[in-house]
Amino acid sequence: MKNYPLLNRIRESRLFLPLGALAVILIFDAIYAPGFFNIAIQGDHLYGNLIDVVNNGAPLMLVAIGMTLVIATGGVDLSVGAVIAISAAMGAVLINPALGNQLITNEILTRDATNTPLPIIILADLAAGTLCGLWNGFLVSRARIQPMVATLILMVAGRGIAQLITNGQIMTIYYTPYFWFGNGYIFGLPVSVYIVAIVFILAWILVRKTSIGLFIESVGINSKSSYYSGIDEKNVKLLAYAFCGFCAAIAGLILSSYVHSADGNNNGLNYELDAILAVVMGGTLMTGGRFSLFASVIGAVVIWTFTLTVYTLGVPANALLAAKAVLVMVVILLYSDYFRRFLNRFSEHKGPEHGRAN
């Protein structure tokens, strides 16, 4: 009863592409940059490229989880990068010991102290991100603005808001407990890995242990049928965008903690592209419908393995952009109707009787 060949094929194909891509990159590394696999123990934790992949890739994995839900409803969230910046700015400002203090001296600024207790900082970050997500969700589900346009507005204004929060400066953070999120280790593994695991499990429970996942897929496939079936499609969309904002906020926390600073212009730059790439690579169609959180996370891992591999080969970071853009196009085309039709035609040539039977 559990072995339906068709379903298995779909399941396989959703993970097939990201895992296949990962394998190709790793084989490439094994041949041309064997040092990529070195893992050493440094002090109390593991150290090496593979650890960096999961540590550096953690924010993207988080954003990809949120983006998966939004894309599955048939929308898109272009504001994730800006939300990351807002979250990072919130964190930095609340820590800033000079908050409201007129006599700012270098000594005060660089003190390893915080103005606000850490739990409140985290809560404020998450609240800010969720609020941004709710705003997007409101524009899409209630004001009926196309998702691309609605989230574009926050994409413009969001970085402005982030700079407004930090008063236009790049704020360096000196409060060491804050660094733990992006640089700490538990049992030898980066803290960020555990955060991703927690959010992933949370998201998985949210979509697979409640009916929300089913509703998201249903709305993404056929919004009208879903409405006729009594599904509250507006709130389903609202939830997806809010959750995406929430994920981006955690990503902002980790990112700012990792680089010890908040920069409204550069935190989370190009994350919208990477997240879309990760989700599409994970087999979720841009038109919405079926999704797999795990495949999206693997998609994010692929992107960072690719990125770090390219770094190890000595290619500059910025040039990577062009390569990624081409990669997204190829992946989108692989999943497009056009390509499918091509494949179908191909398979029809092979077995015309089978085609007739349907």
Partner 1 sequence: MAERTKFFLLRYGPLLTTMTVFVLAYLAGGWLYPAMKNPQVFFNLFINGGYLLLVSIGMTFVILTGGIDLSVGGVIALTTAASAALLKAGVSPFVVMPLMVILGIVFGLTQGCIVHFLKVQPFIATLMGLYFARGMAYIISLESVTIKDSFYKSLALTPIPIPFLDAYVYIPTLVGPIMLIVAIYLTYFTRFGRTIYAIGNNEQSALLMGLPVARTKILVYSFSGLCSALAGIVFSISLLAGYGQFATGTELDAIASVVMGGTSLAGGVGTVIGTLFGVLINQTIVSILQFNGTLSSWWTRIGVGILTLIFIGIQSLFYIRRKHS
Partner 2 sequence: MAENRNILSMTGITKTFPGVLALDDVDFSLRKGEVHGLMGENGAGKSTLIKVLTGVEQPDAGIIELDGRSVHVRSPQHSQELGISTVYQEVNLCTNISVAENIVLGHEPHRFGVLAWKKMNALASQALKRLEIDIDVAQPLGNYSLAIQQMVAIARSLEFTSAKILILDEPTSSLDVNETNLLFDVVRKLKSEGLGIIFITHFLDQIYRIADRITVLRNGKLVDTYDTASLPRVELIAKMLGRSMTDLDAVSKSKVEHEQKASGECLLEAKGLGLKGSLEPVELALRVNEVLGLAGLLGSGRTELAGLLFGVDTPDSGSLTLSGKTIQRFSPLESLKNGIALCPEDRKAEGIVGELTIRENIILALQARYGWFKFLSAEKQNEIAQKYIQLLGIVTPSSEQLAKNLSGGNQQKLILARWLATNPQVLILDEPTRGIDVGAKAEIQKLVLDLAAQGKSCVFISSELEEVLRISHRIVVMRDHKKAAEYSGDVNDQTIMQTMAGNL
Helix 147-165 vs helix 118-141: angle between axes, to the nearest 10 degrees? 150
Q: Is 358 in the site for partner 2 (CB under 8 A)?
A: yes
Q: Is 4 in the site for partner 2 (CB under 8 A)?
A: yes
Helix, strand, coil abundance in the chain, percent, nearest 5:
70, 5, 25
Degrees, nearest 5: CA angle 308-309-314: 90
Q: Is 349 in the site for partner 2 (CB under 8 A)?
A: no
Q: 4: phi > 0 → left, psi -120 to 50 → alpha, else beta; which?
A: beta
Nearest to partner 2 of 215, 271 (CB atom)? 215
Nearest to partner 1 of 221, 328 (CB atom)? 328
Find the shortest distance in angstroms from Cβ 117 to partner 1: 28
Q: What radius of gyration do the chain's Cα atoms show?
A: 22
Tokens 């194909």 correspond to what residue? 13
Beta bridge mates, 47: 40
Q: Is 6 in the site for partner 2 (CB under 8 A)?
A: yes
Report how far residue 280's alpha carbon sits from residue 275's, in angstroms, rounded to the nearest whole number.
8
Contact code string over 205-244 relative to partner 2, x by CB under 8 A: ----xxxx-xx-xx--xx-xxxxxxxxx------------
Burial label for 204, CB within 10 Å (0-12, 13-18, 19+), is middle
Nearest to partner 1 of 75, 129 (CB atom)? 75
Select the binding partner of residue 152 from partner 1, partner 2, none (C-beta < 5 to 8 A, by kind): partner 1
**Residues forming the site for partner 1 (CB under 8 A):** 76, 78, 145-146, 148-149, 152-164, 167-168, 264, 270, 272-273, 276, 286, 316, 318-326, 328-329, 332-333, 336-338
Find the shortest distance in angstroms from Cβ 318 to partner 1: 4
Select the binding partner of residue 225 from partner 2, partner 1, none (C-beta < 5 to 8 A, by kind): partner 2
Helices H, strands E: what count in the chain? 16, 6
First CA to last CA across the chain, in angstroms? 23
Select the binding partner of residue 159 from partner 2, partner 1, none (C-beta < 5 to 8 A, by kind): partner 1
Select the binding partner of residue 7 from partner 1, partner 2, none (C-beta < 5 to 8 A, by kind): partner 2
User: Which residues in the chain belong to E strands, given as ranges?
Assistant: 39-42, 45-48, 171-172, 185-186, 189-190, 261-262
Which 256-315 residues touch partner 2, going by CB under 8 A? 289-290
Select the binding partner of residue 318 from partner 2, partner 1, none (C-beta < 5 to 8 A, by kind): partner 1
Find the shortest distance in angstroms from Cβ 147 to partner 1: 10
Q: Is there a contact between 258 and 267 (Cβ–Cβ < 8 Å)?
A: no
Nearest to partner 1 of 160, 177 (CB atom)? 160
Residues that bind partner 2 (CB under 8 A): 1, 4, 6-7, 209-212, 214-215, 217-218, 221-222, 224-232, 289-290, 358
